[in-house]
Amino acid sequence: MTRPATEPLPPHPTLRGSAPADPATKSQAHRSHADTLPTSGSIRRRLTVQLVGSAAFLAALLFFIVLVFTRDVSQQTHDSILEASATSIMDSATVRADAVTVDIPYAALSMLGNVSDDRVFYRVRLDGAILTGYGDLPEPNARPRQGKPQFETRGYQDDSIRMVTLSRRISVAGRLSELTITVAQTREGQASQLADLTRTALHIGVGFFLIAACLAIWTAQSNVRPLDELAGAVSRRGPQDLRPVHRPVPSEMVPLVSSLNRFIDRLRLSLSRSEDFIAEAAHRVRTPLATVRTQAEITLRRVERAENRASLREMIRAIDESSRAAGQLLDHAMVSFRTDTLAREPVDLAALCHDLLERLTPLADLKDIALHSDLAQCPPLSGDPILIQNAVRNLLDNAIKYSPAECNIRVVLREEQSAEGTRLRLSIMDEAGGFPSDDTDALTARFVRGSNAGGTIGSGLGLTIVREVVEAHGGHLEITPRPATLPNERHGSCVSLYFPCQP
Amino acid sequence: MHRLRGLRVLASVLTTTKPGPVGGALIVTAAMALAQLGWTSPAAAFEIEDRRQFGPLGTGPTPDKLRVLSTTDTDLLAPLIESFLRERPSVTVDYISLSSAELMRAIVEEDAPADLAISSALDLQTKLANDGHTRAHRPESRIRVPDWAKWRNHVFAFSQEPAALVLSRAAFAGLEMPTTRQELMALLRRYPDRFRGRIGTYDVERSGLGYLFATQDVRAAETFWRMMEIFGRLDVQLYCCSSDMIEAVASGQIAIGYNVLGSYAQARADLAPDITIIEPQDYTNMMLRTAVIPKGAKRPDIAGAFINHLLDAAWGATPDPAYPFPRYSTEEAGPTAALRPIQMGPGLLVYLDRLKRAHFLEEWRETVLQQ
């Protein structure tokens, strides 16, 4: 972790860094917060619905356009064949011996038969008189203009027919007469063709819609992806990761991300200030406390009245407690910083324990406590020796402090195989009567002290420190009650630290 | 094999029933028969040639009665009717044969009670269908009716019968038989005296079928009028019907019969030594015998079943021994082959047009009768 150079230097070299308290409680809070956050709908859903809706609208539009267009073309095709038929009949009209006669060409009607199996009707009329054909065909609504075909859709013999009427003036026996040709065809073939066209148009419309809908969904997904990726990247961050977001984002998201970065920056600054403040305060309090304690001891030797001695001892006890709390606050600040920037080197856990036990033996001897060690030779652990030492010392301190006089404390180190691979187990067993509960999470919370801590000096930070150290090394902490097994033994607890060999 | 069997049936029919003019006596007997059967009076306004009832003969009107108006001789279709009735014991078929013009009149003008109309006049049948006097029928899907053998699902063809050349073997002794119209014309030009007065064809003014064949010839070939002119110059003899022409060729009265119904000629096995039947190789019009269900049919279901029976016999995979017509494979005959079934459709209406017919007959008279 790199820190901006502009940050004010903390007063204590080991106190740098920031550490949010308990990762578990923090992530829980985070999750529950997200669940209750009100939402104003999903962008992906809104985008998908809008795009698919547009696609459906366009597909429907396409369907109708294709339908209208093909209907038009189909109608025009039919009409032009009808017109060709009528024209060929018109062309066969001749004036012979002052009478008009019509010699209908075979093709005039057979061409209609080639288009469909529809019924065909025709009528040839000169002025009012019907020359040939179906005299009862309906009259055209409008009189056809010279040379212009008149198309109509009418009913005839319980059927719908398409009808074309052509008209031409011809001179018969010296006077102008109007020759009118009507050709009609039922529309069954056209209707079935239109049904086919409708089906085709429907297929085109549905196909278009499906393709457009797929594209719409894809577009919505790909547009929301950067948002998802950013959200994923931010929510995947560890609880102590307060780095600014540097990944490239779409330009629309830049204001949001830069605001977020500024917010993170402010948060980090404020966290580090409060940690620094605590460390600084603890540091400043501890030194004068030492002076006060020395003075109090000197005074204790001088005074002789029993009640004065008692209150001085009480004073010394309180000073001890304050000074220990300050020390642990400092330890904790140190641990927080070092776990942030964990420096790994091979640590011989057995040697480390051995040293610590030797150092603590005088303290244990004061209470006639026997320290037993059973340290197997283990492969070195990769980690920060200062942190590990601090954690183990805290545990041993606790064990000595809470154990009654004349009892045993055992330290066992073993190499074990577990599901995750090889790990080292360091167990410290005491006869201190055990913890009031087995809830490791609760016991290791900051400033929480066991209900049996009673008059013993402590700050409630010890187990927190141990847990943070173990977890920083990828391991975990387990606290189990330990019933008395030997006749002259008292029951206690077993605190085990598990470190993976290959973190 | 099967074709031969069909021909034999046809032959027996033709030899036993003498095709003759419609006599008054026949009408009387028919009218008596009608009275016996309880035929209602208005329907008797058209002339019938023969009437026969198939199936159970009850006194009262049977509910399952199929009334057929047909231009086909009763004896010719009798085996098919009987095989149809064999599967339907309760059905009665009332079969009336009449001319195609009368059939048209009976349905259009008289509104005769009929469930089925069978005719060799394809043009008239087409007109019935076009003018809305028929109803649709959907043949069973297993029967593969060729597309050119049906129109609008109203008109169904169940036979193909060629318009053939029938030649007298004796008259052509020493000559090569013509196989096309061109060869025929060349022959007539070379030996005009040998064939003068010895060519026969339909009188198109009297015969509907002759008119149909002639108009189809006009459509098919440019040479038709030239040939008619040659016929006319050689004093062509005109006949009312195919059977007369066949008899005339066989007896040596004429040497050439043009546009003779080939199925009838082939059926006359007794005349086989005297005549040769030629299906012209340039093209041969195929007459299609068709059935329609009139709009006023009371039992379209039985009529439809009978049409299915006819179509199955004609186009089905397994030939029906009762089928009286020659079976041509549907591949052999088609619009592109020399065997050309007359094309169904509104084109047939053209030559039924009053003015068109008048024109055609006028030209025909000018050419053939040299008037």
Across chain B, which has 371 residues, the per-10-residue mean pLDDT values are 43 41 40 44 68 78 84 90 91 91 90 91 94 92 88 93 93 90 94 93 91 92 91 93 92 94 88 91 92 93 94 87 82 64 92 92 90 68
Sheet with strand A159-172: strands edge to edge: A129-133, A120-126, A175-186, A159-172, A150-156
Q: Which residue of B has its CA nearest to A124?
A: B355
Q: Which of B138, B151, B152 to mutate to test the interface with A (most CBs of A within 10 A)?
A: B152
Residue A287 and residue A207 share a domain: no
Q: Would A31 be classed as within a structural domain?
A: no
Q: Nearest-CA distance from A173 to chain B in Å? A: 20
Stretch (H or E) spanning B302: helix B300-315
Q: Nearest-CA distance from A158 to chain B in Å? A: 9
Instruction: Find all residues with CB under 8 Å of A433, minimum gap 6, and list them.
Output: A402, A404, A452, A490, A491, A492
Instruction: Give pLDDT, residue B16.
Output: 39
**With an 8 Å Cβ cutoff, are B343 and A110 in contact?**
yes
Q: Would A2 be classed as within a structural domain?
A: no
Domain boundary among A341, A373, A390: A341
Instruction: Find all residues with CB under 8 Å of B309, minimum gap 6, and list them.
Output: B80, B83, B84
Interatomic CA distance for residues A325 and A386, integer angstroms? 19
* Identity of the residue in A106, A119, A124 whose CB atom sits nearest the CB atom of B350: A106
**With an 8 Å Cβ cutoff, are B355 and A159 in contact?**
no
Domain boundary among A281, A310, A341: A341
Residue A156 and residue A175 share a domain: yes
Residue A277 and residue A349 share a domain: no
Q: Would B145 be classed as within a structural domain?
A: yes
* Identity of the residue in B151, B351, B359 whose CB atom sits nearest the CB atom of A117: B151
Q: Nearest-CA distance from B369 to chain A in Å? A: 22
Question: Going along B8-154, which residue ranges are E strands?
Answer: 50-54, 65-70, 92-97, 116-119, 134-135, 150-151
* Identity of the residue in B130, B152, B355 whose CB atom sits nearest the CB atom of A132: B355
Mean of pLDDT values over A404-412: 86
* CA A272, A278, A279, A284 torsion-angle sign: positive
**B153 vs A contacts (CB less than 8 Å):** 117
Using an 8 Å CB-CB cutoff, list residues of chain B that contact chain A.
129-132, 151-153, 219, 343-347, 349-351, 353-356, 359
* Identity of the residue in A102, A119, A133 whose CB atom sits nearest the CB atom of B130: A119
Among left, alpha and beta (phi > 0; psi -120 to 50; other), residue B275 is beta
Q: What are φ and ψ of residue B77, in 5° steps? A: -95, -10
CATH number at residue B33: 3.40.190.10
Share of chain A above pLDDT 90, in %: 20
Instruction: Give pLDDT, residue B156.
Output: 96
- With tokens 């085990």, the residue in question is A496
Q: Hey, what are A108's tokens?
A: 């005039």
Instruction: Give pLDDT, residue A431.
Output: 82
A155 reaches B (C-beta below 8 A): no
Interatomic CA distance for residues B151 and A119, integer angstroms? 10
Residue B18 and residue B29 share a domain: yes
Q: Which residue of A has its CA nearest to B150?
A: A117
Q: Nearest-CA distance from B294 to chain A in Å? A: 15
**A181 vs B contacts (CB less than 8 Å):** none
Residue B194 and residue B224 share a domain: yes
Q: Would A327 be classed as within a structural domain?
A: yes
Which segments of A176-253 does DSSP mark as H helices, in order? 188-235
Instruction: Give pLDDT, residue B62.
Output: 63
Residue B216 and residue B360 share a domain: yes
Cβ pairs bridging A and B (under 8 Å)? 61
Q: Which of B355, B357, B360, B361 to mutate to test the interface with A (most CBs of A within 10 A)?
A: B355
**What ipTM does this complex have?**
0.81
DSSP state of A498: E
DSSP state of A3: -
Q: Would B109 be classed as within a structural domain?
A: yes
Three-state secondary-structure class, residue B221: coil
**With an 8 Å Cβ cutoff, are A119 and B152 in contact?**
yes
Instruction: Give pLDDT, residue A485.
Output: 72
Mean of pLDDT values over A7-27: 39
**With an 8 Å Cβ cutoff, are B350 and A110 in contact?**
yes
Q: What is the pLDDT of residues A105-149, one digit of tens each?
A: 999 999 998 888 899 999 999 988 999 999 999 988 888 787 789
Q: What is the pLDDT of residues A367-383, one digit of tens each?
A: 888 888 888 888 888 88
Residue B184 and residue B139 share a domain: no
pLDDT reading at A333 higher than 80: no
Q: Would B346 be classed as within a structural domain?
A: no
A119 reaches B (C-beta below 8 A): yes
Residue B140 and residue B81 share a domain: yes
CATH number at residue A404: 3.30.565.10
Residue A343's identity, in one-letter code, is: A
**A192 vs B contacts (CB less than 8 Å):** none
* Identity of the residue in B219, B346, B351 whose CB atom sits nearest the CB atom of A113: B346
**A158 vs B contacts (CB less than 8 Å):** 132
Q: Nearest 5 degrees, angle CA A373-CA A379-CA A382? A: 105
Q: Which residue of A has its CA nearest to B220?
A: A106
Instruction: Give pLDDT, residue B230.
Output: 94
- With tokens 């977020």, the residue in question is A260
Residue B12 and residue B105 share a domain: yes
Q: SS3 sequence, A91-133?
A: HCEEEECCEEEECCCHHHHHHHHHHCCCCEEEEEEECCEEEEE
**With an 8 Å Cβ cutoff, are A103 and B355 in contact?**
yes
How many domains is chain B partitioned into structurally?
A: 2
Residue A419 and residue A329 share a domain: no
Q: Would A452 be classed as within a structural domain?
A: yes
- With tokens 């809830």, the residue in question is A439
Distances (CA, A) of B317 to A278, B220, B305, B330: 106, 31, 18, 11
**With an 8 Å Cβ cutoff, are A120 and B132 in contact?**
no
Interatomic CA distance for residues A287 and A285, integer angstroms? 6
Instruction: Find all residues with CB under 8 Å of A360, minimum gap 6, and list them.
Output: A371, A393, A396, A397, A400
**With an 8 Å Cβ cutoff, are A113 and B356 in contact?**
no
Q: Would A37 be classed as within a structural domain?
A: no
Instruction: Give pLDDT, residue B332.
Output: 52
Q: Please indicate whether residue B280 or residue A435 has the higher confidence score (pLDDT).
A: B280
Q: Nearest-CA distance from A143 to chain B in Å? A: 25
Q: Would A465 be classed as within a structural domain?
A: yes
Instruction: Give pLDDT, residue A457.
Output: 53
Residue B78 and residue B92 share a domain: yes
Q: Nearest-CA distance from A160 to chain B in Å? A: 13
A157 reaches B (C-beta below 8 A): yes
Residue B320 and residue B243 share a domain: no
Mean of pLDDT values over A385-402: 85
* Identity of the residue in A102, A106, A114 whose CB atom sits nearest the CB atom of B219: A106
Domain range for B364: 162-285+352-368
Instruction: Give pLDDT, residue B24.
Output: 38
**Which of A24, A22, A43, A40 lies closest to A32 in space, CA to CA?**
A24
**B343 vs A contacts (CB less than 8 Å):** 110, 113
Q: Would A79 be classed as within a structural domain?
A: yes
Residue A329 and residue A351 share a domain: no
Q: Nearest-CA distance from A120 to chain B in Å? A: 6
**Which of A492, A494, A440 lies closest to A468 in space, CA to CA?**
A440
Q: Which residue of B has its CA nearest to A107?
A: B347
Instruction: Give pLDDT, residue A234.
Output: 83
pLDDT reading at A338 higher than 80: no
Q: Please indicate whether residue A403 or residue B355 has the higher confidence score (pLDDT).
A: B355
Contact between A112 and A120 (Cβ < 8 Å): yes
Distances (CA, A) of A267 to A19, A196, B173, B326: 12, 69, 126, 105
Mean of pLDDT values over A236-243: 74
Q: Would B201 be classed as within a structural domain?
A: yes
**B359 vs A contacts (CB less than 8 Å):** 101, 103
**With an 8 Å Cβ cutoff, are B346 and A119 in contact?**
yes
Instruction: Give pLDDT, residue A436.
Output: 67
How many domains is chain A partitioned into structurally?
A: 3
**With an 8 Å Cβ cutoff, are B355 and A158 in contact?**
no
**With an 8 Å Cβ cutoff, are A117 and B345 in contact?**
yes
Residue B323 and residue B198 share a domain: no
Domain range for A476: 342-500
Q: Please indicate whether residue A1 or residue B221 has the higher confidence score (pLDDT).
A: B221
* Identity of the residue in A109, A120, A132 whose CB atom sits nearest the CB atom of B354: A132
Residue A246 and residue A232 share a domain: no
* Identity of the residue in B130, B153, B355 whose CB atom sits nearest the CB atom of A131: B355
Q: Hey, what are B334's tokens?
A: 């088609």
Considering chain A, what is the average pLDDT of its residues? 82
Q: Please indicate whether residue A482 or residue A195 has the higher confidence score (pLDDT).
A: A195
Q: What are φ and ψ of residue A274, in 5° steps? A: -70, -35
| Predicted confidence band of residue A19 (pLDDT cuts 50, 70, 90) | very low
Residue A288 and residue A370 share a domain: no
Contact between A330 and A15 (Cβ < 8 Å): yes
Q: Would A278 be classed as within a structural domain?
A: yes
DSSP state of B241: S
Q: How many C-beta neighbours within 10 Å does residue A105 have?
A: 17
pLDDT reading at A447 higher than 70: no
Residue A371 and residue A484 share a domain: yes
Residue B236 and residue B320 share a domain: no
Q: Would B73 be classed as within a structural domain?
A: yes
Report CA Rg, chain B.
21
**With an 8 Å Cβ cutoff, are B355 and A114 in contact?**
no
Contact between B58 and B85 (Cβ < 8 Å): no
Q: How many C-beta neighbours within 10 Å does residue B147 have?
A: 12
Residue A386 and residue A262 share a domain: no
Contacts by A219-224 with C-beta closer than 8 Å and gap 24+?
A: A219/A47, A219/A51, A220/A44, A220/A47, A220/A48, A220/A51, A221/A44, A223/A47, A224/A43, A224/A44, A224/A47
Three-state secondary-structure class, residue A138: coil
**With an 8 Å Cβ cutoff, are B346 and A158 in contact?**
no
Residue B141 and residue B219 share a domain: no
Distances (CA, A) of A197 to A38, A115, A169, A187: 51, 16, 40, 15
pLDDT reading at A430 higher than 80: yes
Instruction: Give pLDDT, residue B55.
Output: 86
**Which of B214, B208, B181 lies closest to B360 in space, CA to CA?**
B214
Q: Hey, what are A202's tokens?
A: 């429907």
Interatomic CA distance for residues B230 and B236, integer angstroms? 9
Residue A330 and residue A347 share a domain: no
Interatomic CA distance for residues B259 and B210, integer angstroms? 8
Which range in A432-436, A452-456, A483-487, B317-321 is most confidently predicted, on average pLDDT? Answer: B317-321
**B352 vs A contacts (CB less than 8 Å):** none
* Identity of the residue in B343, B346, B354 whose CB atom sits nearest the CB atom of A112: B346
DSSP state of B335: S
Q: Hey, what are A123's tokens?
A: 């009528």
**A120 vs B contacts (CB less than 8 Å):** 130, 346, 349
Q: Which residue of A has its CA nearest to B130?
A: A119
Interatomic CA distance for residues B193 and B237, integer angstroms? 15
Residue B175 and residue B148 share a domain: no
**Which of B104, B44, B92, B96 lies closest to B70 in space, CA to CA?**
B96
On the 0-12 / 13-18 / 19+ scale of CB atoms within 10 A, A19 is buried
Residue A134 and residue A118 share a domain: yes
Residue A336 and residue A348 share a domain: no
Domain boundary among A220, A236, A252: A236
**B346 vs A contacts (CB less than 8 Å):** 109-110, 112-113, 119-120
**With an 8 Å Cβ cutoff, are A131 and B349 in contact?**
no
Q: Hey, what are B168's tokens?
A: 């007298």
**With an 8 Å Cβ cutoff, are B355 and A105 in contact?**
no
